[in-house]
């Protein structure tokens, strides 16, 4: 890839955020280029989800700067993130269980009729289109998403992130609740989105899937960045020792 | 179930008669319960329960609680509660009573045609503002709604008392009384006009929804099912109006009305009451709020937030402002209820709206609103209010002792929720 010459799609610089005196994220800088998948690794509580929620607008950072395409932006709410074409698939999926798939897909961005009413029929039609691409077996369009299986719910959450032409995609453990078949589906999707030039932050526990899907990996421990490495230059064991011991085996690898 | 990407949408050819009609089973259950109740009381009272006169009275007694229950659906769906609605009704009623008996007559002179308009506007304004204030305490200062409105329950009840010095304020403005029930009805002709408008609007809305569905190639119910539904709707509207029209104004009252106009009552003339203005207001509130619930962003966000507050917030919904709007709407509806309630009694009394908060919450809950949030319908709340009122006045007619009346109502409330829980489990945690 020729990414080295381009301005990064996203740059998070010196981000810090604290909750009641505990530094959940401490002076962390990561970046992401178009068409690249960057894995975020670390133990539970290492601060990966918190860092990413700063980018998705769910948390307000205490310090640091966010650049998108080289320009500094302020992201104070999920709405700001969406305005910058940042879409997030949360670990919890963030679905309203009592609404159907189309309502969830368009939540906060409903299609309207000329009279200012919600256009359910149009939204269902769009929902059927995108689900036909992502998960052709999906049929339960008129039922609340609480009636769906884990994989079906996941595909609704993914559809929501993909539908609105995201440039930057954040996936927080997207395969945690999935079976092997659906996990493969997500892996294929990531390759497909990558080819379209979308940058993806992938948070994952599983070192193997990170090795398989990512171009680079940033490892965090206790709120601090251990290091960022090119996947091609490291082994599973290198990544594991970074996660567990907090040691960076290849300080110069990323330079 | 292994369709390819562009597979046609499978048509639904499974299912029973009810599924073809796409009727809500819960709605049918509630209407069934109301029916059994009415037939039962009718049998015990030798038919007195189902006379036009009693049905007319039932509807106008239900209106005040039903209007507030519509707003309570939104509050509860949003995972809040409002214990202050009865007290808020009292405060807004007191404001309107003082305005039209003391403040405005001093400014314009007694009997000025603008008095009732300004009184109603000031009441609605005060109700909306108080509601918005409570919503701000809940949404922005994150005080639990239970506490805010429990406080409001004490505060507004006694603000009403303070405003009126505890006195009964009356008589209210003559035009204002039109909103009260027997004092203001459309008469037979206009009632039929209203019926025709309602039928046309209902059929237009349903055929529009059908057209939107088929335009996108979604399955629609068979045409005979559609026509059957039209038939049911037309029949219910026509019979409702027919019943209200066949409750005749008592002869002595009619005599008085003609005397006032300086006319002579023709021999043997009978005039039907027709649709009460208050019921018309309730119907309008129900239609508007149903559209708000189903077809506006505001309604969609209320349900989304009730289903999963975190998801709503992550979708960019301003849940705090939403809370303020919901409570403001609740306050507005309390004031509207106050118009109907005080006009029906033709004065403001200090105990107006007492215990209404419990009736309103019970009506919403009997109507299928889940206290856990996320589920509830406007029509359910209205049927819930009707069931409560039928029980109460039915038992009074049969001659059940007062303590037993409340014991039964309380038991029914708990049973209704139990049945709802069992129903939800059966259909799979919907």
Helix (H) or strand (E) run with residue B331 in it: helix B319-345
* Chain center to CA of B357: 14
**Closest Cα of chain B to A117: distance in Å?**
5
Here the tokens at position B363 are 């009506």
In tens, the pLDDT along B255-297 reads: 888 888 888 878 778 888 889 999 999 999 999 999 999 999 9
Residue B304 and residue A125: Cβ atoms within 8 Å?
no
In tens, the pLDDT along B395-411 reads: 999 989 988 988 998 89
List where CATH 1.10.3470 sits in chain B.
17-184+276-403
Which option is the CATH number for B17-184+276-403: 1.10.357, 1.10.3470, 1.10.20, 2.60.40?
Answer: 1.10.3470
Residue A107 and residue B374: Cβ atoms within 8 Å?
no
Residue A120 and residue B308: Cβ atoms within 8 Å?
no
* C-beta separation of A93 from A154 below 8 A: yes
Q: What mean pLDDT is reported for chain B?
A: 89
B85-98 and B145-164 helices, crossing angle to 10°: 30
pLDDT tops 80 at residue B426: no
Q: Token pair 């048509």 is at which residue?
A: B11
Residue B307 and residue A147: Cβ atoms within 8 Å?
no
pLDDT for the residue numbered B19 = 62
Domain boundaries defined on chain A: 1-85+166-255, 98-165
Scan residues 357-386 of B and list those with Cβ closer than 8 Å to A.
374-375
| Whether the complex's predicted ipTM surpasses the cut of 0.85 | yes
Scan residues 167-226 of A and list those with Cβ closer than 8 Å to B.
none
pLDDT for the residue numbered B413 = 87
Average pLDDT over residues B89-110: 92
pLDDT tops 90 at residue B5: no
Scan residues 228-287 of B and list those with Cβ closer than 8 Å to A.
none
Reported pTM? 0.90
Does residue B204 sit at the A interface (CB-CB below 8 Å)?
A: no
State the greatest distance between any 2 C-alpha atoms of chain A, in Å, as a whole number: 61
Which residue of chain A has the CA closest to B307? Answer: A96
Scan residues 20-79 of A and list those with Cβ closer than 8 Å to B.
56-58, 77-79
pLDDT for the residue numbered B4 = 39
Does residue B223 sit at the A interface (CB-CB below 8 Å)?
A: no
Does residue B291 sit at the A interface (CB-CB below 8 Å)?
A: yes
pLDDT tops 90 at residue B223: no
- Strand A199-203 and strand A168-172: the pairing is parallel
**Closest Cα of chain A to B3: distance in Å?**
6
3 state SS of A217: strand
Does residue A83 sit at the B interface (CB-CB below 8 Å)?
A: no
The residue among B77, B54, B70, B154 whose CA lies nearest residue B329 is: B70
Which option is the CATH number for A1-85+166-255: 3.40.50.300, 3.40.50.960, 3.40.1620.10, 3.40.50.1370?
Answer: 3.40.50.300
Below-70 pLDDT ranges, chain A: 1-6, 249-255
- Pick from B190-194, B220-224, B292-296: least confident: B220-224
For chain A, the first-to-last Cα distance in angstroms comes to: 16
What is the distance between the alpha carbons of residues B109 and A95, in angstroms, rounded to a whole number?
59
Residue B303 and residue A99: Cβ atoms within 8 Å?
yes
């Amino acid at each position: 890839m020729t990414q080295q010459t381009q301005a990064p799609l996203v740059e998070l610089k010196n981000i810090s955020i604290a909750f009641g005196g505990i530094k959940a994220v401490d002076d962390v800088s990561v970046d992401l280029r178009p068409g690249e998948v960057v894995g975020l690794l670390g133990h539970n509580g290492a601060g990966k989800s918190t860092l990413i929620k700063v980018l998705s607008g769910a948390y307000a950072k205490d310090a640091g700067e966010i650049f998108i395409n080289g320009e500094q932006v302020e992201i104070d709410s999920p709405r700001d993130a969406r305005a910058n074409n940042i879409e997030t698939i949360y670990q919890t999926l963030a679905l309203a269980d009592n609404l159907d798939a189309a309502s969830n897909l368009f939540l906060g961005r409903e299609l309207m009729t000329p009279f200012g009413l919600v256009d359910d029929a149009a939204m269902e039609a769009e929902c059927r289109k995108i689900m036909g691409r992502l998960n052709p077996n999906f049929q339960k369009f008129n039922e609340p998403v609480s009636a769906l299986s884990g994989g079906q719910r996941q595909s609704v959450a993914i559809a929501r992130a993909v539908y609105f032409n995201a440039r930057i995609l954040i996936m927080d453990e997207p395969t945690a609740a999935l079976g092997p078949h659906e996990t493969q589906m997500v892996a294929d999707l990531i390759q497909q989105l990558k080819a379209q030039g979308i940058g993806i932050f992938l948070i994952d526990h599983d070192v193997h899937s990170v090795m398989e899907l990512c171009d680079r990996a940033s490892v965090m421990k206790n709120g601090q960045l251990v290091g960022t490495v090119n996947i091609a230059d490291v082994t599973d064991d290198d990544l594991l020792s970074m996660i567990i011991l907090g040691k960076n085996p290849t300080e110069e690898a990323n330079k | 179930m292994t369709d390819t990407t562009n597979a046609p949408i499978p048509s639904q050819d499974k299912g029973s008669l009810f599924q073809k009609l796409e009727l809500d089973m819960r709605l049918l259950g509630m209407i069934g319960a109301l029916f059994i109740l009415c037939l039962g009381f009718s049998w015990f009272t030798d038919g007195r329960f189902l006379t036009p006169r009693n049905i007319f009275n039932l509807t106008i007694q239900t209106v005040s609680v039903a209007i507030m229950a519509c707003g309570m659906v939104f509050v509860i769906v949003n995972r809040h509660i409002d214990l202050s609605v009865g007290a808020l009704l009292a405060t807004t009623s007191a404001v309107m009573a003082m305005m039209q008996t003391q403040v405005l007559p001093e400014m314009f002179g007694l009997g000025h045609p603008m008095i009732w308009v300004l009184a109603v506007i000031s009441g609605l304004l005060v109700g909306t503002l108080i509601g918005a204030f409570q919503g701000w305490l809940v949404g922005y200062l994150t005080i639990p709604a239970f506490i805010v409105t429990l406080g409001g329950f004490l505060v507004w009840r006694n603000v009403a008392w303070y405003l009126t010095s505890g006195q009964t304020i009356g008589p209210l403005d003559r035009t204002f009384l039109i909103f009260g029930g027997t004092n203001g009805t459309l008469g037979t002709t206009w009632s039929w006009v209203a019926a025709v408008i309602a039928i046309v609007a209902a059929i237009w809305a349903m055929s529009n929804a059908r057209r939107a569905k088929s335009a996108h190639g979604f399955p629609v119910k068979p045409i005979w099912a559609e026509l059957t539904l039209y038939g049911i709707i037309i029949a219910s509207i026509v019979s409702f109006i027919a019943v209200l029209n066949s409750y005749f104004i008592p002869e002595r009252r009619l005599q008085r009305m003609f005397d006032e106009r300086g006319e002579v009552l023709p021999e043997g003339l009978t005039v039907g009451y027709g649709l009460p203005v208050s019921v018309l207001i309730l119907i309008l509130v129900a239609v508007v709020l149903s559209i708000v619930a189903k077809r506006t962003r505001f309604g969609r966000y209320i349900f989304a937030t009730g289903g999963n507050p975190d998801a709503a917030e992550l979708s960019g919904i301003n849940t705090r402002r939403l809370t303020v709007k919901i409570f403001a709407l609740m306050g507005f509806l309390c004031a509207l209820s106050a118009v109907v309630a005080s006009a029906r009694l033709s004065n403001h009394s200090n105990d107006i709206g007492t215990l209404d908060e419990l009736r309103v919450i019970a009506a919403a809950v009997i109507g299928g609103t889940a206290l856990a949030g996320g589920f509830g319908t406007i029509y359910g709340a209205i049927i819930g209010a009707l069931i409560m009122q039928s029980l109460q006045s039915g038992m009074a007619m049969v001659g059940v002792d007062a303590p037993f009346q409340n014991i039964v109502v309380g038991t029914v409330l708990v049973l209704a929720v139990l049945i709802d829980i069992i129903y939800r489990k059966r259909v799979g945690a919907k």
